[in-house]
Structure 1
């Protein structure tokens, strides 16, 4: 077996890993768009504009990720008809907590994409991770040392 053919499965595996991570980021964006429709309906009036901005940002990132997945030669994962929220959202405090949760989830997905990708996809994923981490801090009032990475306990 030549060295070129031996390298091919590795490159295919790499593309597959990037596609999988991009699909996961797209799925996280779909969930965030859904989640922010709940946040916007429950958050205090003083934070509604911020919720709308986050909703719009996630819609734009969702559309961008769908194009990225298509550019990688895959069919973008579709949004679910509905999503199960991680907890009941009955008021503004719950909405703030949900917004923080959504941003942390999105940051995690983009962290995986940063780890898997190279070049422009990696740069875009790093930017999306940074944006999600900043929004998470705004919603929760605190942050983590390395957003997008799962803490080991």
Structure 2
């Protein structure tokens, strides 16, 4: 039995799942180098991405698709060796996941998929703003989260 060919909505969910897999991996690196006073935030963000990853896997399976597994490793766009680099990576992770979920918003055909994507995009934008604020970046928000 083969899986159905994914449509635009499902392909965007597959891309969002890939971003969530990368986020879970990336937050492991953030946890290793983050300021210890940020441990609670790192833990909460990691848990949020794990939950979003798991829910996306469930949604793809419900659509009759076999979700791709996480890659064996990921490339980090810059060296992370200290708390500042860890916070910068957290901002990058949230920006990347926001971009992926914005794509789902744009391609979603079902109301549940669109609502899930809007929630995920909003949550990523809020986490990114928190990390930008921690870095002293002003303003901590961007006009259109998820826009590449």
TM-score normalised over the length of structure 2 = 0.90
1:43-58 alignment to 2 at 5 Å? 43-58=34-49
Question: How far is the alpha carbon of 1:131 from its aligned partner?
Answer: 0.2
Structure 2: runs of 5+ lacking an equivalent: 134-139
RMSD: 1.4
State the match for 1:69 in structure 2: 60
The correspondence for 1:17, drawn from 8, 19, 27, is: 8
State the match for 1:133 in structure 2: 125
Structure 1: runs of 5+ lacking an equivalent: 1-11
* Structure exhibiting the larger radius of gyration computed from Cα positions: 1
The correspondence for 2:86, drawn from 95, 102, 118, is: 95
State the match for 1:7 in structure 2: none
Deviations 1:6-63 (A, max 9, x none): xxxxxx99x6101110000000000000000000110001111100100010000000
**Across the two proteins, how many residue pairs are aligned to each other?**
138
Runs of 4+ more than 2 Å apart: none
**Greater per-residue helix proportion:** 1
State the match for 1:40 in structure 2: 31
How far apart, CA to CA, are the structure 2 residues paired with 1:18 and 1:73? 13
